[in-house]
Amino acid sequence: MMIFALILLLSLIFPGIIARTKSITSGRKGPSVWQPVYDLIKLFKKDAVYSKTTSWIFAWAPVFYFSAVIMAALMLPFGNHCAIISFKGDFIFFIYLLGLGKFFMIVAALDTGSAFEGMGASREALYSMLVEPAFFILLASLAMLSGTTSFETFFYSLTFNSSLAIFIGVLATYLIFHIALLENSRMPYDDPKTHLELTMIHEVMVLDYCGFDLALIQWAGHLKFIIYSLLVSNLFIASSFPEWLQWLIFVLTTLLFAIAVGFVESFRARHKLRSNNKAIVILIPISILIFFGSMLIMNKLF
């Protein structure tokens, strides 16, 4: 339960750290780290405007999306604390649950009957479809390494005692980092700050949302970042570490993760929309590399 509280807390300052990193690298004074929290509070307080075209789907979709992300957070273990909900094969449930949330966001975008939002919906659907195999292969390699099928035990067997294991750790981190960037529509796949609807992906999909609903969507996005950084930190936490070190690693990874996102956003241009497909498909060979690396480790062990 502690970890869940920490996830909620970190999710609130995560975008603030990204913004702060960006402001420092570009030499601006920049907003406070707590600014996204103020934004969320402001949004939660606002009144709402709904389009006349929309139906109940539009009003329910953010609820489903947010709940799916919360539920996914409940299913993640941390160090040797087991997850609140955990069973054999839970990672399949985890991936499909996030898919459920996304399904609702996509149809909600189509619910507004706006060309912009249809465009965003189509892109979001395509990219999440392309990235799904990579994530599956990554988790399958972890399953193979640990010999089990549940998140809880996935991370126990990856010990960094050989150069190969370090190689796998680095690749997996890179992969999760990119999946997180894509799922949260950050650079280089999408630019959350652009104001040209024709080139946006996620932001244009939620164009008609405001107030409470928009706050839910944004918070769910921040939470997703923390979920991925928790996955990364689990890679590096061995169960033999003392309690305080595990917490420290998690918090540090999250901070580093945010700073890395900020750096990428400061120094990289975004992909052309057409080349996004290729950039995403490249993640699949990387995940296959991880798979083969894990197989090599296994052969070494036996």
Report the site for another protein in 83-142 (rule: CB under 8 A): 85-90, 92-93, 96-97, 99-100, 102-103, 106-107, 109-119, 121-123, 125-126, 128-130, 132-133, 136-137, 140
For another protein, give the closer residue by CB, 30 or 132: 132
CB of 255 to another protein, least distance (A): 28
For another protein, give the closer residue by CB, 256 or 296: 296
CB of 50 to another protein, least distance (A): 6
| Residue 81, strand partner residues | 78
Q: Is 44 helix (H, G, I), strand (E, B) or coil?
A: helix
Q: Distance between CA atoms of 14 and 222, rounded to whole angstroms?
A: 7
The amino acid at residue 209 is: Y
Q: Which of 197, 199, 263, 266 binds another protein (CB under 8 A)?
A: 197
CB of 29 to another protein, least distance (A): 32
N- to C-terminal Cα distance for the chain? 38
For another protein, give the closer residue by CB, 12 or 70: 70
For another protein, give the closer residue by CB, 196 or 242: 196
295 touches another protein (CB under 8 A):
yes
CB of 34 to another protein, least distance (A): 22
Tell me the CB-side half-sphere exposure of residue 180, using CA atoms within 13 A.
Answer: 23
Q: Is 81 helix (H, G, I), strand (E, B) or coil?
A: strand
Give the chain's radius of gyration (CA, Å). 19
Ranges within 34-93 binding another protein (CB under 8 A): 44, 46-57, 60, 63-64, 66-68, 70-71, 74-75, 85-90, 92-93
For another protein, give the closer residue by CB, 43 or 235: 43
The amino acid at residue 228 is: Y
> Which x/- pattern over 215-254 shows residues binding another protein (rule: CB under 8 A)?
-x--------------------------------------
| Contact between 261 and 135 (Cβ < 8 Å) | no
Place of tokens 């089990």: 148
103 Cβ partners below 8 Å, 6+ apart? none
Q: Distance between CA atoms of 28 and 173, rounded to whole angstroms?
A: 30
